[in-house]
Amino acid sequence: MSKSGQRLNRLFDRLERRVPRTAAGWLANVRRPEARWVRIPLGILLVLGGIFSFLPVLGIWMLPLGLLLLALDLIFLQGPVNMAILRGSRKWTTWQRSRRDKKNGQV
């Protein structure tokens, strides 16, 4: 397995630890190699749902999840998806810290 594939698996493991147990079990099942025929169409549907997030039921959260699922099978997506997740988590952490510092009276 490539370095980006290993990193992607670590990101999925971390995601499974952070979501509720039922969602983690579902995600573990979808990650199995034999679930490829479910994972690819599901990833495409999630990406499309994320693109049409302006509609009532759909949301922007669908786009990254769909890209994550597709990156398991499409190797050319693994590098860009890994980098996007790492950058996004760094920005999220920085934003949370700045918010916490403002709340505690520090600037």
pLDDT at 6 over 70: yes
- The reported pLDDT for the residue numbered 47 is 92
What is the helix (H) or strand (E) element at residue 64, kind and residue range? helix 62-73
Residue 37 C-beta-side C-alpha neighbours within 13 Å: 1
Q: Which of 48, 83, 43 is nearest to 65 (CA)?
A: 43
Please indicate, yes or no, whether the overall pTM of this predicted structure exceeds 0.85.
no
Tell me the per-residue pLDDT of 35-86, one tens digit each, with 9 for 90 and over: 999 999 999 999 998 888 777 777 888 888 899 999 999 989 999 998 988 8
Q: Which of 68, 88, 98 is nearest to 7 (CA)?
A: 68
Q: Which of 73, 64, 76, 81 is nearest to 37 (CA)?
A: 73
